[in-house]
Structure formats: structure tokens, C-alpha cells
Amino acid sequence: MVRLNEDAEIVKQIREGLKQTGGYCPCRLERTPENKCMCKEFREQIADPDFEGYCHCLLYYKDNQ
């Protein structure tokens, strides 16, 4: 299951960054399709049934429960 970070302040900051970048991960320097939120890196990570953890910018968390 993928969920938002439980820290509301982090979620607020990242969402504000997403607004400023037009939906691109604010933690990435390049504005490429791969870095559009939800980024390619995290989509690939969550496709792995054994992966558990945060996306690069800490907005989302995937747990295996």
C-alpha cells in the first residue's frame, strides 16, 4: 500500500514545491517526464513486491502490509 508521509509538514512542503515546479519532483534538478510526480524511480520501486520505504522526496511511503 502506498500512502502519504505521516509528517504533515513534509507533505505541505513537498506539495508546495510541486506547485512551484509544475508537478515535477522538487528534489530533482531536471524537469523530465521521469521526474514528474509520482516519479519513475518510485513507480519502479513500488512495482517490486519486496520494496518498502519512502520515495526520493519523502512524500510517499510504500509498506508491505
pLDDT digits (tens, 9 = 90+) for 18-36: 999 999 999 999 999 999 9
What would the mean pLDDT of 6-24 be, rounded to a whole number? 97
Model pLDDT, residue 36: 97
Looking at the DSSP assignment, which residues form a beta bridge with residue 4? Answer: 60
pLDDT at 65 over 80: no
Distance CA 35, CA 52 (A): 20
What would the mean pLDDT of 40-65 be, rounded to a whole number? 95
Compute CA 56 distance to the chain's CA centroid, rounded to the nearest angstrom. Answer: 6
Nearest in space to 13 (alpha carbons), one of 3, 2, 25: 25
Mean pLDDT, the chain, rounded, equals 95
What percent of the chain shows pLDDT beyond 90? Answer: 94
- With the CA atoms of 20, 53, 8 and 24 taken in that order, what torsion angle do they form, in degrees rounded to the nearest 10? 10
